[in-house]
A and B are shown apart, each in its own frame.
Chain A
Amino acid sequence: GQNIDQPTEMTATEGAIVQINCTYQTSGFNGLFWYQQHAGEAPTFLSYNVLDGLEEKGRFSSFLSRSKGYSYLLLKELQMKDSASYLCASRGLGGATNKLIFGTGTLLAVQP
């Protein structure tokens, strides 16, 4: 079976750090993606992990543990514009098609 779990909602304060967790159970694993989606807009790519460890990109970092089926997205120095939904997606095995299984998303509200 295939299942992606992430919290439904989170709240954090401007300037703080927030960690959004994602656990996955998929038949075959070939990478973990994070997307950001502002209300009424298209999802946009944030990060990709295929090996264990931390990938850092400016204020955003993403971590993967394949043995635990676990990933997190870390957002530092939060800004009001970071209020959005964050989607975790697992890519299964299957060659060239790049098919993704998405979680339901975590709605992050950044407060002043």
Chain B
Amino acid sequence: DVKVTQSSRYLVKRTGEKVFLECVQDMDHENMFWYRQDPGLGLRLIYFSYDVKMKEKGDIPEGYSVSREKKERFSLILESASTNQTSMYLCASSYPGQFNEQFFGPGTRLTVL
């Protein structure tokens, strides 16, 4: 059974803290993605990676960075958390190619105070 796991379901941080969100997949997928989901805005792509050490900006990369040192792990980093980064963060992974669905993790609800 395919599996994408995220390090925390709920996280509370303070403004200015450095925050790490971890995502691990066990499907040997090349592609990995980080989204945030907000009411009325839907899922928005922050960053994605199509190979180890490779990354590309999504639609809203400002305030975020990512790291992919191993194929199965993709980390999202908030260098200095701000209240407007309070959101649900979803990680996904997929094989490359035209038709390949993305498999999502359960999400991390981050609150920045």
The interface-forming segment of A12-20, A40-48, A57-65 is: A40-48
A30 to chain B, nearest CB (A): 6
User: Cβ of A102 and Cβ of B43 under 8 Å apart?
Assistant: yes
How many residues of B are in contact with the other chain, CB < 8 A? 29
> Are the C-beta atoms of B94 and A98 separated by less than 8 Å?
yes
- Sorting the interface of chain A by its residue count into under 10, 10 to 19, 20 to 34 or 35 or more gives 20 to 34
In the complex the two chains form, is B43's CB within 8 Å of A50's CB? no
Q: Would A50 and B106 be within 8 Å (CB), given that A43-B90, A87-B42, A104-B40 are in contact?
A: no
B105 contact from A4, A42, A100, A104, Cβ within 8 A: A42
Alpha-carbon distance A16/B44, docked complex (angstroms): 32
Q: A: which residues have CB within 8 A of B?
A: 4, 30-31, 33, 41-45, 48, 50, 87, 89, 91, 95-105
In the assembled complex, 10 residue pairs joining A and B whose CB atoms fall closer than 8 Å, in A order, are: A41-B106, A42-B107, A44-B104, A45-B101, A87-B43, A89-B43, A98-B31, A98-B96, A100-B45, A102-B43
